[in-house]
């Protein structure tokens, strides 16, 4: 009998935002898949689990390169998928833990497709988590959208020309992982319209902070777990 593969979102960083369902499953599974890039010394997702779940797990550390080369990425997904499949076929339940939600920009989706294609009989379950997309506006106590307003979510590697069109169409735009793009973005926004901006850094961690004046922090070393919420000014609509 094979084990079950779970994809579990552990929230943005605050262990109190781990869901009850996630906590229950993580207290029962045998193996934790810990995704890491070479940039990370320690897994942020694992640090959340260790604070919220008092259990020693077998750790399966999976390396995923920060690359845009499709061949390199696919090779890493296949290697990770084969390791996970080995645990599942041995009868062990496996949980792939990810910061935020497993359906939003998570490597979990690639592994899930791999397992469902090659091992269709292996049971799988995806457990949603609190995303930074909702945790950050909650932290700054600013509604993300209201009424009939439209929302867009854009990853860090976006084209500024596309962003111009998106800002025309949507009332609120959430820009993910903006730390490296911040100077260019601020210059862009200065020239393209009447917006309010909220920059949120490491939401859910003890050193979290937010500012409506992100130009004042350009000289700081910013973590990749940062986002910016751009909203059309209501008096301009």
Task: Please name every residue paired with 62 in a beta bridge, in sequence order, or none if there are none.
Answer: 35
Percent of the chain with pLDDT over 70: 92
Assess whether pLDDT exceeds 70 at residue 146. Answer: yes
Query: Hunting for tokens 């949507």 — which residue is that?
Result: 170
Assess whether pLDDT exceeds 90 at residue 212. Answer: yes
Enumerate the H helices of the chain as residue ranges.
20-26, 44-52, 70-89, 108-118, 132-140, 160-169, 182-192
Assess whether pLDDT exceeds 70 at residue 215. Answer: yes
**In the prediction, which pLDDT does 1 show?**
85
Assess whether pLDDT exceeds 50 at residue 236. Answer: no
Domain 5-127 sits in CATH 3.10.20.90 = no
What pLDDT digit, counting tens, does each position of 193-206 carry?
788 999 999 999 99
What is the CB neighbour count within 10 angstroms for residue 192?
A: 13
What pLDDT digit, counting tens, does each position of 20-56 carry?
999 999 999 999 998 876 555 678 899 999 999 999 9
Q: Provide the token pair at 215.
A: 């130009």
- Which pTM value belongs to this model? 0.89
CATH architecture of 132-236: 2-Layer Sandwich (3.30)
Q: How do the domains of the chain map onto residue ranges?
A: 5-127, 132-236
Top-confidence range, 65-74, 92-101, 157-166, 223-232: 92-101
Q: Are residues 20 and 11 in contact, defined by beta-carbon separation less than 8 angstroms?
A: no
The mean pLDDT of the chain is 89
What pLDDT digit, counting tens, does each position of 50-106 carry?
999 999 999 998 877 666 767 777 777 788 888 999 999 999 999 999 999 999 999
Distance of alpha carbon 151 from the chain centroid: 17
Average pLDDT over residues 151-161: 79
Question: Coil, strand or helix: which one is 73?
Answer: helix
**In the prediction, which pLDDT does 237 show?**
46
């Amino acid at each position: 009998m094979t084990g079950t593969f779970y994809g579990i979102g552990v929230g943005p960083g605050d262990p109190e935002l781990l869901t009850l369902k996630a906590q229950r499953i993580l207290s029962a599974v045998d193996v934790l898949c810990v995704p890491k890039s070479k940039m990370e010394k320690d897994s942020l997702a694992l640090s959340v689990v260790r604070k919220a779940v008092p259990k020693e797990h077998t750790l399966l550390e999976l390396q995923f390169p920060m690359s845009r080369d499709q061949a390199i990425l696919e090779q890493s997904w296949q290697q990770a998928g084969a390791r996970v499949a080995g645990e599942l076929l041995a009868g062990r339940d496996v949980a792939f833990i990810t910061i935020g939600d497993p359906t939003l920009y998570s490597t979990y989706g690639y592994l899930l497709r791999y397992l469902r294609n090659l091992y269709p009989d292996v049971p799988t379950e995806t457990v949603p988590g609190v995303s930074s997309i909702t945790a950050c506006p909650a932290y700054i106590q600013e509604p993300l959208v209201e009424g009939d307003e439209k929302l867009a979510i854009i990853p860090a590697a976006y084209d500024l020309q596309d962003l111009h069109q998106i800002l025309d169409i949507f009332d609120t735009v959430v820009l993910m992982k903006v730390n490296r793009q911040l100077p260019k973005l601020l210059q862009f926004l200065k020239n393209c319209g009447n917006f309010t901006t909220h920059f949120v850094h490491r939401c859910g961690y003890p050193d979290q902070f937010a500012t409506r004046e992100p130009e004042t922090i350009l000289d700081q070393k910013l973590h990749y777990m940062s986002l910016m919420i751009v909203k059309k000014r209501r008096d301009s609509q």
